Structure 1
Amino acid sequence: MSRPTRFLKDNGLTLAFGTGFLLTLAGQAVSGHADFNNQLVADDLQPIGFLPYLTTSDFAVDVTENWQSEYLQFFLYVFGTVWLLQRGSPESKKLDKAGVESDRAQKVGEHAEPSSPRWAARTGWRQTVYSRSLGTVMGAIFLWSWLAQSITGAAAYNEEHLRGLQAPVSWAQYLGSADFWNRTLQNWQSELLAVASMAILSVYLRQRGSPESKPVGASHTSTGVEGG
């Protein structure tokens, strides 16, 4: 098998979803540009070109408000599943595994294997940082994208107000506005519903061949068992 073919096979999941992300982002940009210009025309204003639209706060806030909710989902899921369990779900650890688990089970420190990541074999702060790196990065991206949403959202909100000859608001005032929290909470509730649905539906339903599902013949009470 050639190296390019091996690379595509070994990274198929990331490449497929990454490509899908870029295509849908492009589609959002095209449809958002058309909708934005429709609003400008309705307000008796001059439409703008596609490239200028990509630099507008209107486009930026639509993108970042979705990113922050997705990374919130992953952040809560990564940390929540350390302690929270769901009997019968492959999304949960086994019922006797709640918590951070032992060094032996996690293969850290003196229990690290030759193939383990270098910092997993260390002790002290390096092991502590690496052992929580996934959730920390997810949380950091969430906070960054939420901050970006608040800044771009304030700009978009003020642009809309100025078109209606209304006074703009400060960033701090926008953080307390109904617009900001409506944008935020409508995304959060959908992400939390999706996680809860996946946790409970995977108890009783199956998808043959998916690691997100239990084996088809596994009992409903089997917990922390994934297909392959």
Structure 2
Amino acid sequence: MTPADGDGRAGRAGRFLRENSLGLVFLLGFLATLAGQLLAGRAELNNDLVSEGLPPVGLLAYATSSDFAVDVTENWQSEYLQFFLYIFGTVWLLQRGSPESKEIGRAGTESDREQRTGGHARADSPRWASAPGWRGVLFSRSLGLVMGGIFLLSWLAQSVTGTAAYNEERLRSLEGPVGWGGYVTSADFWSRTLQNWQSELLAVASMAVLSIYLRQRGSPESKPVGAPHSATGVVG
């Protein structure tokens, strides 16, 4: 390999990192916090087990346990619910002065011309943007549908793993197990679910309202620093 080849690869790698830094940094942060949750959750469970006179569990056993799985899926379903509601909600709902909102008067799915779909698709548009029938309809709503699908799958996984974790606790207390239907109608399931939902909804509302009056220079989630508070749908 010549020095020029090495420089070219290094340049391509550097460009890849720069152009994908947002996704990569958050992915690494996700993996780091997931590992931290694994360690902390195992320590917490082992403290409970030792206090009950039971042997502690190893790291691999905890990583594949229902206790760990229910905590992970519980968080995932609430996050994807937030994105699902936000994506579909911002089609029709407006907030004057917020960069998180469309401009006042533009509520709705907008015209084909504005969305560059059908006969208004451009040469560089995705192929399905100009597709007729169900393909165009599906592609034009694919982001929200995928987010909603992940939410439903995560919520189902939470209910299944939560049932197993809940029954393990009941068995340690010498109580009989409950079925899936019994668990998803229980206070434990809805307490876990609603405490996450309320925090996600509050976060979205806070972002939409606080961004009317506050600024973050250089962020596309904020209006330009000098934009008036009444400016709606403007990003910096």
Is 1:105 the equivalent of 2:111? Answer: no
Residue 123 of structure 1: CA displacement? 1.3
State the SS of the aligned residue for 2:229.
Answer: coil
2:216 aligned counterpart, secondary structure: coil
Partner Cα separation in structure 1 for residue 126 and residue 15 of structure 2: 23
Aligned with residue 115 of structure 1, among 100, 117, 124 = 124
Residues 5-51 of structure 1, C-alpha deviation per residue, up to 9 Å, x if partnerless? 11111111000000000000000001111111111101110111101
1:70 and 2:79 matched: yes
TM-score by length of 2: 0.95
For 1:52 and 1:122, the matched residues in 2 are separated by: 49
Q: Distance in 2 between matches of 1:168 and 1:81?
A: 43
Could you list the runs of 5+ residues in structure 2 that have no partner in the other structure?
1-7
Tell me by how many angstroms 1:96 deviates.
1.5
2:231 to 215, 222, 227: 222
Match of residue 201 from structure 2: 192
* Structure 1 unmatched ranges of 5 or more: none
Per-residue CA distance 1:73-94 (angstroms, 9 max, x = gap)? 0000000000000000000000
Q: Tell me if 1:162 matches 2:186.
A: no
Residue in 2 aligned with 1:50? 59
Which of structure 1's runs of 4+ aligned residues deviate more than 3 A? none
Instruction: State the SS of the aligned residue for 2:103.
Output: coil
Q: 1:4, 1:116 → 2: CA distance? A: 27
The structure 1 residue matched to 2:137, chosen from 122, 128, 137, is 128
Amino acid at match of 1:196: A
Amino acid of the structure 2 residue aligned with 1:62: D
Residues of 1 paired with 2:187 and 2:38: CA distance?
A: 25
1:40 aligns with 2:49: yes
Backbone CA RMSD of aligned residues = 0.7
TM-score (norm 1): 0.99
In the aligned structure 1, how far is the partner of 2:18 from the partner of 2:121? 28
